[in-house]
Amino acid sequence: MKTKAKVFEKRRCIRCGAKAVMPRTSAGRTTSYRTMPCMPIPDDLLIPSCGRCQSEYLDEEKSAALGPQLQEVYLACLRTRIRIAIDILSRHVSQRKLERMMGMSQGYFSRLRAGSGNPSPELVSHLGLLCQDPPTRLVELERFWALPDEEWAPLPTEQTRYRNRKDTSGSAR
């Protein structure tokens, strides 16, 4: 019988030429993942990287292997973001009213606030935007739902002054 110890052969770095690329842990790394251009990577996650120039080799194969772990990190980011958003918005509107305005079932925000369940990135995006200026955004949202289907769109702020005179002046009524 043989037990095959997995020995990592260091690969050569195509950036600096050092033969120092092997799976390494590190602090402060980020990666682009779904909606997040700079999602933090857990310090203890092994990613092939160069010991000399720190270049990372997160190729497709490796990314796929890390997929479930990165997904977990992503879901944790969403839960944190929604908790903060609900706290901010709760100072301006009741959770019940907010749930109604956003078509959510009663108590959904309390459950999310408590960290149970995973919010969708769409919902996190939406609440995140409302948080940028809660008093204004909440009134806008209320108004949006109150207006007729065809008439809710805001007027362009910068209207073009150009008018085709020929078209309007010469036309018969």
Is residue 16 part of the contact set for Zn ion (CB under 5 A)?
yes
The strand pairing partners of 33, in sequence order, are 36
Which range, of 17-25, 85-93, 110-118, 132-140, touches Zn ion by CB under 5 A?
17-25
Q: According to CB under 5 A, which residues from 37 to 56 bind Zn ion?
A: 50, 52-53, 55
Other CB atoms within 10 Å distance of the CB of residue 8: 10
Minimum CB distance to Zn ion, residue 40 (Å): 23
- 36: three-class secondary structure by DSSP: strand
Question: Considering the rule CB under 5 A, would residue 14 count as an interface residue with Zn ion?
Answer: no
- Closest contact distance (angstroms) between CB of 83 and Zn ion is 39
Gyration radius of the chain over CA positions: 26
Asked whether position 24 contacts Zn ion by CB under 5 A, the answer is: no
Residue type, 5: A
Phi, psi of 13 (to 5 degrees): -80, 125
| Residues within the interface to Zn ion (CB under 5 A) | 13, 15-16, 18, 50, 52-53, 55
